[in-house]
Amino acid sequence: MLAHLVLATVAVPISSAILFFSLKPLLSVFMSSVALESDAPLTLPLFPLQAVLGLMTGLFLAVRAGEFGRDRTARYIWVVPAIWFLLFFASWQSRSVLVESRLEHFLWSTSLFSKRMQITTTMPSVTSLAYSLGSYMGSRTLKAHSSSSI
């Protein structure tokens, strides 16, 4: 379980950053230079790049990685990061009624302080959930493929 948890919460975000910086010259054709200079795609709300990579990683491992990929615990590794997120979410207190709401702070805000909090709470939850979903989809694909070939 620990290996799947590390893959989903650490390796996927690091891999998405490496992939982004590797493809940055190609992305300049499609994106503004301001967005690329600030590395904005890596900090989009709800971290879609990291979520897609987490989904693809979970799916690939479930289909191709033998016993490790088919391990049932891979489908439940989202629980630990979700508890981590919920602890921070429930305990966060706004300093003023004029600042952002709890949902905005953890999901949508673009302020630097909020982004730091989202990277340590929201992103692990999103990537582990996507990884688990990919693992589940991969196991379902294998079951469907094996039952149709019999």
- Average pLDDT of the chain to the nearest whole number: 91
Q: What is the pTM of this model?
A: 0.89
pLDDT of residue 32: 86
Residues of the chain below pLDDT 50: none
pLDDT of residue 149: 60
Within 8 A by CB and 6+ apart from 120, the residues are none
Residue type at 138?
G
Whether 115 contacts 47, CB under 8 Å = no
For the chain, what's the residue count? 150
pLDDT of residue 150: 55
d(CA 108, CA 118): 9
pLDDT of residue 132: 97
Task: Classify 92 as helix, strand or coil.
Answer: coil
Whether 75 contacts 135, CB under 8 Å = yes
Residue with tokens 């990537």: 127
